[in-house]
Amino acid sequence: MNLFLPSQIIILTLSIGYLITLLLIIAYEHKQLTKRIKYSFLLAKFIQIIAWIGLGYGEGAYKSFFLGFSNSLLFISYTLEIIAFLTLKNMLHNVEKRLLYFFMVVSIIGFNLIIIINDTTALRIIFYSVVNAVIYLFMYRMVFSKGATALMKLIGSLYLIVSFASVIRAVITAISSVPTSFYIPGTFQWTVVLAIYIFSNLGTIGFILLMKEEVDRDLYHFANFDDLTGVLNRRSFSTETENKLRYYAKKRESITYVLFDVDHFKSINDTYGHLIGDKVLQNLTTIIKPFLQTNDLFGRYGGDEFALLLVDKNEQEATEIIKQINQSIKPLIVGELVVHYTISMGGITIAPSNDTCLEDVYISCDKALYTAKRNGRNIFVKGKLES
C-alpha cells in the first residue's frame, strides 16, 4: 500500500526536526569549546532548513531553479557539517579541507549542468547520491583513527552507513525501475523522510556529545596535569604513586622514587627572567620524557621540583636510567642566548609493602636530594627508607 505524504508535510516535518537540533546546540553554547566550530555546524543546519524548504517547490513552476538551488545548498551544508565534525576532533588537515571545498564546488557545478543539459530524475538522483556518499565518506577518520573513542567510532559509523546507503540508492536508480525519488508518494518516500529526520537528530546529538567529550577531556587535563610542562601535577602524581605502591606491594616487586630540581634555579630567574626560567623547565621535561616507559610516572611538585616513579625495573636498571637522565641535560638555547643548567637528584629503590607510606618515601628522597645539593649538586644520591 502506498503512503501518500504531501510535500508540504515533508518539509514541515524536516524543518521542525532541524530547528529542534539548532535549539539544542544553542542551549549547549555555554559548554562548547570552539565558537568557530559551533557556528560552522549551526550554519550547516540552517542551510539545510532552507534547502529542504526549497525542495518543497521541486515539482512546481520553478522546478529547475529550486532543484538546482536547494541541492547546491545541501552540498554546502553537508560539507560544512563534515568539516565541523573533523575539525572538532583535530582530524582534518588544510589540504583535505581544501579538497572538500573543491569537491563541493565541482558538485554544485555538475548538478546544475545536469539540470541545464540533460534534466532527468534518475541522473539527478544518481549524481546527488554519489556526492552525498563521497562527502560522508570522510567520516571514516572518526572510525579508524588511532585513539578514536567509542563515541567517535559510533558517530563515524553512522555517517558511513548513510554513505553506503547513498551508494545503494544510486545503484538501484541506475539499474532498475524502482522509484527512488523523494517526490513519488509511497513507502520509499515515507522511509526517506523518517530516515532523514532520525539521522539529522542523531548527527546533531552526536556533535553535542563530541563537544562535551572535548570539554571533559580538557577538564581532566587541567585537573591532572601541569599547564607549563605537561607532566602530572602534584595531586595526580601523588594519587597515581599511591596506587602504584599498593599494586607493586601485591606483586612484591621493587619501584624507584626520585626527586630532583634545577640547581640555582632562582639565579636563572633573576638573571634571565621568569620566561626563560619557564623554558628551562619545559626543556628539562622534554629531555627526560624519552627515558620513561608507559607505566612510569613523571610529575611536577611545584616550582622547579619534580618527581619520577620508575617501575618494572630493578635497582641497577633504575639507577642507570637516572644517571643517563642526569648526563643528558643540555643547555637551553633561545636565539643567541645559551642557558647552562644542571639538576640534582635524590631517590630510593624499595619493595613496597601494604604499610609503605608515600609521605615516608617522599621524606627519604627529599633527604637524599638535600645531600646531593650539599655535596656539590649535579649528582644523584641514593637514599634509604626511614620508618
Q: Please name which of 119, 39, 36 lies closest in space to residue 71, comparing C-alpha atoms.
A: 119
Q: Are residues 47 and 22 in the same domain?
A: yes
CATH number of the structural domain spanning residue 369: 3.30.70.270
Q: Please tell me the predicted confidence (pLDDT) of residue 3.
A: 46
Tell which of 202, 224, 246 closes a domain.
224
Q: Using N-to-C axis directions, what is the helix angle for 150-175 and 63-88, rounded to 10°?
A: 150
Choosing from 191, 224, 257, the residue where a domain stops is 224
Q: Is residue 300 part of a domain?
A: yes
Same domain, 166 and 244: no
> Please, what is the end-to-end C-alpha distance for the chain in angstroms?
85
Q: Are residues 179 and 258 in the same domain?
A: no
CATH number at residue 61: 1.20.1070
Tell which of 203, 224, 245 closes a domain. Answer: 224
Query: Within this chain, do residues 101 and 248 fall inside the same structural domain, yes or no?
Result: no
- Shared domain check, 276 and 131: no
| Whether residues 216 and 263 fall in one domain | no
**What would the grid cell of residue 330 be?**
643540555
Q: Let me know whether 206 and 67 are in one domain.
A: yes
Q: Are residues 217 and 325 in the same domain?
A: no
Instruction: Please count the structural domains in the chain.
Output: 2
Amino acid at 184: I
On whether both 206 and 79 belong to a single domain, the answer is yes
> Is 124 a domain residue?
yes
Does residue 127 belong to any structural domain of this protein? yes
Which cell numbers hold the place of 81? 557539517
What does the pLDDT read at residue 85?
A: 92
The model's pLDDT over 5-39, given as tens digits with 9 standing for 90+, comes to: 565 566 666 677 667 767 766 676 555 545 667 77
Distance, CA of 123 to chain centre: 39
Quick one: 215 and 80 in the same domain?
yes
Do 38 and 160 have their domain in common?
yes
**Could you tell me if 212 and 241 lie in one domain?**
no
List the domain range (segments joined by +) for residue 38.
7-224
pLDDT less than 50: residues of the chain = 1-3, 33
pLDDT in tens, 159-210: 999 999 999 989 988 888 766 666 666 666 667 766 777 787 788 888 888 8
- Judge residue 242's burial from the number of C-beta atoms within 10 Å of its C-beta, 0-12 exposed, 13-18 middle, 19 or more buried: middle
